Structure formats: C-alpha cells, structure tokens
Amino acid sequence: MEPILPSLGQILPAIADRATALDRSGDWPQQDLADLGGVGAWRWFVPPDCGGEGIDPLELHLRYEAIAAASLATALVLSQRDSAVGLINGADDWPLRSEYLRRMSRGECFATIGIAQLTTSRQVGAPALRASAMADGYRLDGVIPWCTGAAKAEIVIAGAALEDGQQILFALPMDLPGVRIDPPLPLVSLRSSWTARIQCHSAALPQRWIMRGPVAKALAGRSKGLVISQAFLAFGLCRGGLQLIGKHDSDRARSLVLKFSEQLESLRSRTIELCQAGRESDAAAAAPALRGACNDLAVRITQSAVALYKGSALLLDHPAQRLAREAMFLLVWSCPDAVIDCTVNALAQG
C-alpha cells in the first residue's frame, strides 16, 4: 500500500479502537471526525480557491481506503461529505458555491448527499422525490431514501424528477419548512453513519438553492471524482479483515493472509491503473466487474475471519462479526444492475 499522510496514520489506531463500540451503540462518530478534521480532512477535497487543498481524487480515495481499514462507517461519512463537496464544486454557476465550500473547508458546515433516487434506488415506478415548478423555485414532495449523516447536515445535495422526466440538482436546507428527517434506519451495520430517510411534504425550495436543471440527467458530468470510487472503501474493509486474520496466531491464518493479500493487491493495482487520467472510459467499462470482484473478495475475507475466530465471532462485540456485516453493505451500496449481476454471478460460482 502506498504511504499515507503521516498525520493520518497517527490517528487511525484510535479510530480502529472505537469502531466496534460505535457499531454497538450507533452513536455518531464525533471523535473520529474531530480527529480527521485535526489532520486537515475538511480541506482535502475543497479546491484551493475556496480555502482547501484540492488533492487529486485518487490520493483522496487512497486516504479513504486507509480510514476504512480502521472504520468503514467513518470512511463512509467522510466520503459522502466529500461527494457533496464535489457536486458543489462542479456547480460553477451556483451563486452559493464559494460560500459553502469555504465554510466546509473550515469545518463550519457539514453537508452530505441524497442522490440514490437519481442513480440506483427506486428506479422502477414513480420517482421517489418529485419537483413541481413554482414562481420562484420548486415544490418538493416525496422521499430521499438514503442520506448518510442527515441529522448532522446543514444542507443535503439532492436531486428530484419533474413531471416531464427532467431532473434538478439542488442544495436542500434541513431547516426548510416541509422537510423532516426520519430517525436513522435500523441497519445491520454502519449504524453510526446515521443514514436516514428525508421526507419532503410540499417543501417550497427557492430558486437560489437550485444548482442545476431542469436537464435530462442532473448528475451527468458534475461530480469531480473517480469512476470506480466505491472500490477503495472495499479495499479498506479487506485490509481491516486481513489485519484481524493476522492477529490469529495460527498457520491457517498466516496462509490466508498470504493468499488474500495477493488477490487484494492484484485487484487494487488494476483499479489504480484505471484511475489514471485519460482512462475514464476504460474505467467505466470495467467498473461492474471490478466492483463485483471487490464485493466477492470482501465477503470471502471477512467470512474467513469469522471462521477462524469460531464462536467468539458470533458475539456482537467481536470485530470479525462486525466486519462480516459491513461486507453486506458493499453488496448493496451504489450498485446498479450490472454490478449486482457481477456480484451474484461470483457468489453463484461456488
């Protein structure tokens, strides 16, 4: 693995130590995020013209990988916040772009995304979130089905469909009348991410919050990130699993670490190669198979950890059991049909 930021490496052991307790309690990872903010994480992806570092997307995701090896839930929270940064940064004509990016770079504002209804969630039937044009903006009705850290957000970058099928991308203030955040979803893993549904009932959104649209695809070409971004959190979970297997003092464990490490490095090298500039179309074509392979490897590594630790791994306070449940998250997170097909085909091969 490439060397990571030294200051980040110094805080990761403490984040790892808190991961299982946070999984049990479902508490928001406040200390993890404070530690990350202390090493500059709020500035990493914010562009320099707004007070940030504007680091390369690949370097950003390598840092996510390191964080995910310690705590997948905390890495998810940060990645969703940075996805909001990417979408805001891509909204060049939005008058509030600079204001929010500057505040986010200083850790003064937490923002996240709620865009699954435009990508992979509830794509059959009526739109989950509908927008109707008004004199000065749009009226929103429906639900944002998945939003990590919703209750901690000042704004959520979200999207909705109009009656004619066109879409809008917007920043949704959480204090807007008609907007209600449900309690965090009763997930089997990553409960500390506080992922929740957001209900919108005749919420009148003024025009100043509209970032893009109406257009056919509100997300097309707007986020400044990687095509295969989800793979790096999977790599982090795999590393966390290998670290746990490595703590099992047995020849069986040592053999597993060697075999799985080879598979992980091969898959990771292919992914990093496809993340180089100019390889975007190749990455898009390879993404479903790579995501399916990442999912398969994460399941096999974490289930191997459960098998090694035997009955102890069935206890809720054992990290092997937590990692195995977190691998389930990868099977459903931002997975279009092509990724699901690759995942289930790998699982069916036996």
Q: Going by C-beta distance under 8 Å and a sequence separation of 6 or more, which residues neighbour residue 181?
A: 147, 150, 151, 174, 196, 197, 198, 199
Burial of 135 (0-12, 13-18, 19+ CB in 10 A): exposed
Tell me what pLDDT residue 167 has: 95
State the chain's mean pLDDT as an integer.
Answer: 93
From the candidate CATH numbers 1.10.540.10, 2.60.120.620, 3.30.920.30, 2.60.120.10, the one assigned to the domain spanning 6-105? 1.10.540.10
Domain boundaries, the chain: 6-105, 111-215, 230-349
Q: Is the dihedral of CA 46, 50, 56, 62 positive or negative?
A: negative
**pLDDT mean for each 10 residues of the chain (350 residues):** 83 97 97 98 97 95 97 98 95 95 98 88 72 96 96 97 94 98 96 97 98 90 67 96 96 97 96 89 88 93 97 93 95 81 80
Q: Give the fold, CATH level 3, of 111-215.
A: Butyryl-CoA Dehydrogenase, subunit A; domain 2 (2.40.110)
Tell me what pLDDT residue 230 has: 87
Tell me what pLDDT residue 120 has: 63
pTM: predicted TM-score of the whole model, two decimal places: 0.94
CA distance 115 to 150: 12
Reported as a single tens digit per residue, the pLDDT across 174-200 is 999 999 999 999 999 999 999 999 999
DSSP 259-305: HHHHHHHHHHHHHHHHTSTT-HHHHHHHHHHHHHHHHHHHHHHHHHH
Reported as a single tens digit per residue, the pLDDT across 104-158 is 999 999 999 999 888 765 555 678 999 999 999 999 999 999 999 999 999 999 9
Q: Tokens 């390369």 correspond to what residue?
A: 56
Is residue 300 within 8 A of residue 241, CB to CB? The reply is no
| DSSP H or E stretch at residue 25 | helix 6-25
Same fold for the pair 111-215 and 230-349: no
Reported as a single tens digit per residue, the pLDDT across 143-177 is 999 999 999 999 999 999 999 999 999 999 999 99
Q: How many CB atoms lie within 10 A of CB 72?
A: 30
Q: How many CB atoms lie within 10 A of CB 316?
A: 10
CATH superfamily name and code, 230-349: Butyryl-CoA Dehydrogenase, subunit A, domain 3 (1.20.140.10)
